């Protein structure tokens, strides 16, 4: 005769809670199964009937019937398990953190997880876990802008920012700088283009076809770029570029923002600027060339054109840069948005 066991009686609250558990689509399967065992038991089903309906063993049925009899619905939850004792103590964790935050010896600049693990006799996985829990990443470096030593920092900064936010009437603000030593790098083997399942591939070995410098001016309030390439970046090339800008905008008051590079302050440059009434040079504070918006555009151009580029000659590099400038001015040129919300 099939074993039935003592029929489990449920009050309305318990029955409702078990019904919700047994029908829940997002509850873990083991809890759904346990609720069904108790509900079927309350209906007078035998062990064998419950076993066949739920595809479980009689031992499982007996276990959760007994748990429910002792602690009711709470008894259907898993008991706390301490798990395997940790192999490493708090002291070991502190050693990992201390080592990661210290400067390594032997000529290394920074620690890696592998070398920390070797030094302390741990697994690399454990070191990774300890560092992750303390939000430490010894393999990464973040950069921040150091404080300028320029005693006139605030005056110069406000001058530049004022040109960005409140330019003089009938004035054109140009952000000007050079990107020097752009290398025309070629590869020793033909490039393998990207195709399904494979990335674009280049050989590690390369050959140089010379360098070129790019002089560029960003029209701050329109986003247009004026640029030219030169073989050598010196005061002669910079002065020639200024004269080009002066001729390009004949009826405009020109306010040109530059950094403190020596070619920008050459005596010949200063003499020429002083002779032009509608031309004004504004220097960014020392160590603050990041204030010059053209630096943002250089970053965009470097990602779009220079990164992983292949050129068979310097002429080809120059041609691609100038083609990109034309495309940028036609399709993408717009002022950079001012997002700073501080004082």
**Domain 153-192+202-331 sits in CATH 3.40.50.620:** no
Angstrom distance (rounded) from CA 247 to CA 241:
10
**Lowest-confidence pick of 135-139, 216-220, 232-236, 276-280:** 135-139
pLDDT attached to residue 223? 95
Angstrom distance (rounded) from CA 149 to CA 159:
17
Tens of pLDDT, residues 21-74: 888 877 888 888 888 888 888 888 888 888 888 888 888 888 888 888 888 888
Residue with tokens 């006799």: 121
**Which residues, in sequence order, are bridge partners of residue 214?**
179, 229
In the chain, which residue ranges form alpha helices assigned H by DSSP? Answer: 12-23, 29-42, 47-54, 58-71, 90-100, 113-120, 124-133, 153-165, 235-248, 267-274, 294-301, 314-331
pLDDT attached to residue 81? 67
Share of the chain above pLDDT 90, in %: 48
* Averaged pLDDT, 124-147: 85
Q: Which two tokens stand for residue 215?
A: 């002089």
* Averaged pLDDT, 214-238: 95
Which 8-state DSSP code applies to residue 134? T
Of residues 296 and 37, more confidently modeled = 296
Angstrom distance (rounded) from CA 288 to CA 141:
21
Q: How confident is the model at residue 128 (pLDDT cuts 50, 70, 90)?
A: very high
pTM of the model: 0.65
Tens of pLDDT, residues 311-329: 999 999 999 999 999 999 9
Q: Which two tokens stand for residue 132?
A: 């992750």
pLDDT attached to residue 3? 58
Is residue 339 predicted with pLDDT exceeding 50? yes
pLDDT attached to residue 1? 46
112: CB partners within 8 A, 6+ apart: 138, 139
Angstrom distance (rounded) from CA 54 to CA 47:
11
Is residue 180 predicted with pLDDT exceeding 90? yes
N- to C-terminal Cα distance for the chain? 86
Is residue 273 predicted with pLDDT exceeding 70? yes
Angstrom distance (rounded) from CA 146 to CA 129:
32
**Which residues, in sequence order, are bridge partners of residue 226?**
217
Q: Which two tokens stand for residue 70?
A: 């002792």
Number of H helices, E strands in the chain: 12, 5
Q: How confident is the model at residue 80 (pLDDT cuts 50, 70, 90)?
A: low
Q: Mean pLDDT score of the chain, rounded to an integer?
A: 88
Is residue 306 predicted with pLDDT exceeding 60? yes
Q: How many CA atoms lie within 13 A of 199 on its CB side?
A: 4
Which 8-state DSSP code applies to residue 75? G
* Averaged pLDDT, 134-138: 86
Tens of pLDDT, residues 138-160: 888 887 777 788 888 999 999 99
Residue pair 171/252 in contact by the 8 Å Cβ criterion: yes
Of residues 206 and 285, more confidently modeled = 285
Q: How confident is the model at residue 5 (pLDDT cuts 50, 70, 90)?
A: low
* Averaged pLDDT, 78-91: 74
Of residues 188 and 343, more confidently modeled = 188
């Amino acid at each position: 005769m099939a074993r039935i066991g003592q029929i489990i009686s449920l009050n309305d609250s318990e029955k409702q809670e078990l019904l919700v558990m047994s029908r829940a689509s997002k509850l873990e399967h083991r809890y759904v199964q346990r609720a069904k065992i108790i509900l079927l038991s309350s209906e007078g089903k035998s062990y064998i009937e419950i076993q066949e309906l739920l595809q479980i063993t009689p031992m499982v049925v007996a276990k959760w019937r007994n748990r429910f009899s002792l602690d009711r619905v709470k008894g259907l939850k898993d008991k706390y398990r301490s798990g395997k004792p940790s192999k490493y103590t708090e002291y070991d964790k502190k050693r990992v953190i201390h080592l990661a935050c210290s400067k390594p010896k032997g000529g290394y600049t920074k620690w890696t997880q592998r070398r920390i693990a070797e030094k302390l006799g741990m697994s690399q996985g454990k070191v990774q876990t300890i560092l992750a829990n303390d939000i430490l990443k010894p393999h990464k470096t973040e950069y921040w802008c150091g404080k300028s030593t320029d005693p006139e920092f605030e005056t110069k900064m406000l001058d530049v920012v004022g040109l960005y936010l409140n330019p003089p009437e009938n004035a054109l603000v140009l952000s000007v700088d050079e990107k020097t030593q752009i290398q025309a790098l070629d590869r020793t083997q033909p490039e393998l283009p990207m195709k399904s399942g494979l990335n674009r591939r280049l050989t590690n070995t390369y050959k140089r076809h010379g360098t070129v410098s790019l002089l560029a001016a960003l029209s701050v309030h329109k986003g247009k770029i004026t640029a030219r390439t030169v073989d050598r970046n010196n005061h002669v090339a910079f002065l020639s570029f200024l004269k080009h800008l002066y001729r390009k905008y004949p009826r405009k008051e020109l306010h040109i923002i530059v950094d403190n590079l020596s070619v920008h302050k050459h005596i010949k440059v200063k003499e020429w600027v002083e002779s032009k009434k509608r031309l004004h040079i504004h220097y960014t504070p020392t160590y603050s060339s990041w204030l010059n918006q053209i630096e943002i555009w250089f970053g965009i151009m470097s990602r779009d054109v220079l990164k992983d580029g292949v050129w068979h000659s310097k002429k080809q590099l120059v041609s691609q840069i100038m083609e990109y400038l034309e495309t940028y001015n036609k399709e993408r040129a717009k002022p950079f948005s001012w997002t700073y919300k501080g004082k």
